[in-house]
Amino acid sequence: MLDVKKLLTDVFDPQTGEVVTFVVDLPTDEIPDHEGWSARRVMAERWRAAMAELAAERDFTVQPLLEFPATGANNADLPEKARLGEDEVDLEEALRASTLAVAMTEFSATAPLAQLADAEEDFRAASMPGVEERMEGTALAADYSKVAAHCKAIFDVMQGAVLCDVIFSTGHRCWFDLRHRQAEMDDGFLPRGKEGDRIINLPSGETFIVPYEGEHEAVPSWTAGTIPVMEKDELVLFHVAANVIMGIEGEGLVADYYAAFFDADPARSNIAEVAFGVNDRAEVTGSVLEDEKAGFHWAFGRSDHLGGVVGVDAFDDPGNVVHQDIVYAEGNPIQVERAVIVHPDGRTVVVIDEAEYKL
């Protein structure tokens, strides 16, 4: 079994005087509970208890569980009110009063937590949407020093790069524009006072970047190509130009769904992330939180929480906000055959070849 207290120590290294808050979302009349969700809330209590043991040794505070009604959408804005133990509180104020938040939620709270980390110098957060107890034997049990080294190797080759050239196992190809952007690492380390990005996923293990979204006048994005997506045994092609999904090609229900989904709100069509997952203990099971740490992935929709410019205000309605990852790791129906980082002087670095990492 995973030593949770050791993991919390290794990842967060909480210090004397800190205030730690574990956060969960709750089912509503419109969003019914299910077995995995209820088990996650039990897991949150167990992790909170492990953190409380550590707090007794290091002299910091662990708050009661902070609970709020589920938003129903990944990376949507959080509600105003929550419960902290038996007390009703302002959710944002409760988070701002914390130095560390661990969000073990059904729906991702990464984006609003990232905004708070940007605004509050002494606040950091781990976002764990969809985390499952079984991950304590897979991705959560990784050697995070090894994970961090792999993240750093890819981060280094992405510095100053202009393109990520990706060829999928279907033969389709897409170029992702890396200009005007800075890569980031989600390497499993989040101590107090960490420089740079102060929010991670847990399990961790990826180096990511938001492709250039064309926000500079007269400088269009170079992101273009065709991205294959396989769902329910149906191959759908996403045709991309200027960092936007411009068209959907397919002949089934999945293609019809995506065509309607993107038509309903154009901001959903934004290419919001390109990333390399490098956690060698991650397993592909259908849970995006872990799947994305197992290999290459990209995302559409909201990007401001990762360093892009597309936020909630870009959507026609806050209820339409989405940041959705599509994963191409071993175990997924489509792989990445080759991924190459291109620099301004023409130098290229192969990150993936024949579906295997070369860094």
Residue 323's pLDDT band (cuts 50, 70, 90): very high
CA angle (199 as vertex; 105, 59 as ends), nearest 5: 85
For the chain, give every domain's residue range: 4-131, 143-357
CB 327 within 8 A of CB 333: no
pLDDT tens-place string over residues 291-311: 999 999 999 999 999 999 999
Does the pLDDT at position 225 exceed 90? yes
Q: What is the pLDDT of residues 122-170, one digit of tens each?
A: 999 999 999 999 999 999 999 999 999 999 999 999 999 999 999 999 9
pTM: 0.92
**Mean pLDDT for the chain overall:** 97
63: confidence class by pLDDT, cuts 50, 70, 90: very high
User: What is the 3-state composition of the chain as percent helix, strand, coil, each rounded to the nearest 5?
Assistant: 30, 30, 40
- Mean pLDDT over 32-61 rounds to 98
What is the reported pLDDT for 196?
86
User: 341 vs 73, 86, 132, 149, 293, CA distance in Å?
Assistant: 33, 52, 34, 18, 19
pLDDT of amino acid 1: 81
| pLDDT above 90 coverage of the chain, percent | 98
Please give the pLDDT value at position 346: 97
- What is the tens place of the pLDDT at every residue in 253-271? 999 999 999 999 999 999 9
Nearest to 294 by CA among 285, 284, 305, 307: 284
3 state SS for 31-70: CCCCHHHHHHHHHHHHHHHHHHHHHHHHCCEECCCEEEEC
**pLDDT for the residue numbered 275:** 98
Q: For tokens 């045709």, what's the residue?
A: 239
Q: Average of pLDDT values for 29-43?
A: 98
